[in-house]
Amino acid sequence: MKKLSKLGLILVLSLFINQVWAAGFPKPNFKAKYSKTEVKTGETIELIIQFDVASGFHVYSEKSDCPEYDGPLRASIDFTPSPSFQLVGKFYGVGDHMVKETEIWNCSTGEFTGKGEFRQKIKVLGPIQGIKMIFNGQICNESGCENLRDMAINAPALKVVGETIVAPASTNAGSETGTPDASENTATSGDSNQTAISPKSSANTDAPDYLNNELKSIKTFNGQAATEETGGMLGLFILAFLSGLTALLTPCVFPMIPMTVSFFIRNKNRSIAIRDSFIFAFSIIALYTIIGTIVAFLFQANAANWMSTHWAPNIFFTVIFLVFAASFFGAFEITLPSWVVNKADKQADKGGITGAIFMAVTIALVSFSCTGPIVGTVLVEAAAGGASRPIVGMFGFSLAFALPFGLLALFPSWLNSLPKSGGWLNSVKVVLGFVELAFALKFLSIPDQTYHWGILDREVYLALWIVIFSLLGLYLLGKIKFDHDSPIEHLGIFRLTTVIAVFAFVVYMIPGMFGAPLKALAGYLPPMSTQDFRLDRASDSKEGTCFTPKYADLLHAPHGINSYFDYDEGLKCAREQGKPLFIDFTGHGCVNCRKMEEKVWSDPTVLKLLKEKFVVVSLYVDDKKIKLQPNEFFKSHSTGKQITTLGDKNAELQEYYFGKTTQPLYCLLDANEELVQPALGADYFQFEVEPFKKFLEEGIAEYAKRSN
């Protein structure tokens, strides 16, 4: 029972850690003061910034010997320029200690624990009414990290005696000219590559806020900010649960169900038999859920966008799925080392609670050649969507996988009604192989769109799916055979029904080759704009726009909507036409974006509103190819890195203005760039026309009210 208690404690701690993670780490409270309470103009003093760090956590300082843009996010402080003072040199941490990061980065970084302090020398030029600063950094503990983004710090007013000194025109609010740090007189943070932030009065007054790096202010409507996306947890759980049921039907697992249940119910003591079988089932759930928890910690929410859009992980997943398919087709078996299985099996032979736990481990190891690809599919689908999704996915999979063992232990007579093992089990594996092939194309399609490779246009993608599922139908009919397949003497009802469903799916896809929308597959196919032959090609006219949109040769909006692809251009046109601005934060690899476009935007009433009552701007956050002009580069508030691509610019805009990173996100703005309705995502509308139509109509009414 002690080991069972430990196992339960591990599960409780895993759930607790996940909840703490979801709630966010404790953010430090900053307080700023001066080294003197009264100073004279021309005097150099220190601005002291102090903060507390919660127990068990640490905050990184500005010190690091890691390569540039590598290692943990080092601290940076941006000082709002003022004619009242000049920065002398760079800010520096006091009381931090260097720690070697060996698990991920082979370099050292400064860390604050308990308390932290930064100092910045300033030369006083005149009366100081206060100093405003923005802190960016990272707080971590053993479970993970969270970025500290755009935290405002305000220093109080300072009593200054003497006449005001006018700063030389050649200097910014940086280091004092003529000091040993004069070469860094444009630095405002710990990064020597960062430049001083010019106030709007001295910069381009027409430039947007994010280019001037002004203090971020999340837009709200009547105090309501953008809604939080749930990430489709219920859908993921259902998919994982069905995957677990499918894994039970594979030849590595199904024959072991009666053997395993018989092992437990042979005990004459009925209560002990039921106890052991349930410990076995709960051990399976715990085992896979712990795997999901580990994946969740390895692939945190910040990595989701990179995993889902970058070419490297998607090409890797494509290859993995092709390997899985070959394994299911019988080319080879994916197995674990025999010594691992044998060790677990020996422990299982001991019986009792320990034996039940190790029996679960043995089943998981022995069945790996069949369940590994299915588990891998669920994890890949889950890990690309956020931190908690792998845990939900593995819990759903393991719950379905463990369910029959617990139920059959309660009702042993059900064993007699189980179908006998046979060639049909190998057919299940082969069918899964065809499904893995289709999934491989999906992962290859994502970087193809984000990098504009042009390999998998919509009709090419559809043609391959049509061939794959046609071959699957022929296999089920017995026209194609693989090794280990049993002869098909006749078609059973279930097999015939499956054949009909597969060929019906093939027939459904064929019109898509000519431009049919195929709403049932919305989000799983490349967008219509990638299709060369379409019967509705004439609907893509750009008439009615204020001017020719930038990037229109590479980016497209659905249903012939006249859209811009640059925020500033869209806002300018909206002001010229006196219409509200409809912002669609979208992505090439965004499944829910395509579902909304095919199921909701395609409605004639909605489409009429979008085309006639709004200026639409489609902002792709995952585009990797389109580069900004050098004069459009700016510094990210969250990472401090230089923004050089359109996708990164749009992602920064979404987080900068609306505080969200999920897509789609729909925002309606007036001419003053203020929301006329709350910013909402797909989860709010549930892919239904009426709530989205109401959202647009209420935005139009609010815009008219403000205009009047």
Better pLDDT: 659 or 252: 659
Better pLDDT: 195 or 298: 298
Q: In the chain, which segments carry CATH 2.60.40.680? A: 28-197
SS3 string, 327-351, reads: HHCCCCCCCCCHHHHHHHHHHHCCC
Euclidean distance between CA atoms 223 and 73, whole angstroms: 31
Please check the confidence at residue 537 and state whether its pLDDT lies above 70: no
Mean pLDDT, to the nearest integer, of 622-626? 85
Q: Calculate helix-pair angle for 689-707, 604-613, nearest 10 degrees.
A: 20
CATH class of the region 541-707: alpha beta
Euclidean distance between CA atoms 516 and 84, whole angstroms: 65
Specify whether the CB–CB gap between 569 and 617 falls below 8 A: yes
Closest CA to 2 of 268, 352, 260: 352
Euclidean distance between CA atoms 671 and 289, whole angstroms: 49
Q: To the nearest whole percent, how much of the chain has pLDDT over 90? A: 19
Q: Report the SS3 class of residue 113.
A: coil
Please check the confidence at residue 230 and state whether its pLDDT lies above 90: no
The pLDDT mean for the chain works out to 76
Euclidean distance between CA atoms 584 and 563, whole angstroms: 10
Tokens 């811009």 belong to which residue? 564
| Encoded tokens for 37 | 């309470």
Euclidean distance between CA atoms 59 and 235, whole angstroms: 37
Strand partners, 120: 47
Residue 192: the pLDDT is 32
Euclidean distance between CA atoms 454 and 525, whole angstroms: 14
If pLDDT is split at 50, 70 and 90, which confidence band does 300 have? low
Q: In the chain, which segments carry CATH 3.40.30.10? A: 541-707
Global pTM value:
0.54
Euclidean distance between CA atoms 325 and 430, whole angstroms: 8
Q: To the nearest whole percent, how much of the chain has pLDDT over 70? A: 68
Range of weakest confidence among 148-162, 329-343, 443-457, 647-661: 329-343
Amino acid in the structure at residue 306? W
Please check the confidence at residue 337 and state whether its pLDDT lies above 60: no
Closest CA to 311 of 33, 624, 686: 624
Half-sphere CA count of 285, side-chain side, radius 13 A: 21
Which helix (H) or strand (E) segment holds residue 182: the answer is none
Residue 697: the pLDDT is 94
Total Cβ atoms within 10 A of residue 625? 14
Please check the confidence at residue 293 and state whether its pLDDT lies above 50: yes
Cis check for the bond before 664: say yes or no (omega within 30 of 0). Answer: yes
Residue 677: the pLDDT is 92
* Positive or negative: CA dihedral 438, 444, 448, 451: positive
Q: Report the SS3 class of residue 380.
A: helix
Closest CA to 4 of 516, 302, 357: 357
Residue 343: the pLDDT is 55
CATH: 3.40.50.620, 2.60.40.680, 3.40.640.10, 3.30.43.10. Which one for 28-197? 2.60.40.680
Specify whether the CB–CB gap between 523 and 487 falls below 8 A: no
Residue 141: the pLDDT is 80
Kindly list the distances between the CA atom of residue 700 and the CA atoms of 288, 537, 582, in Å, as whole numbers in the listed order. 49, 29, 10
Euclidean distance between CA atoms 213 and 80, whole angstroms: 10
Instruction: Give the neighbor-by-neighbor strand order of the sheet with 115-124.
Output: 30-34, 44-52, 115-124, 85-94
| Encoded tokens for 483 | 């090794």
* 69 phi, psi to nearest 5 deg: 65, 20
Chain centroid offset of residue 705 CA: 37
pLDDT in tens, 539-570: 444 555 688 898 888 888 888 898 999 999 99
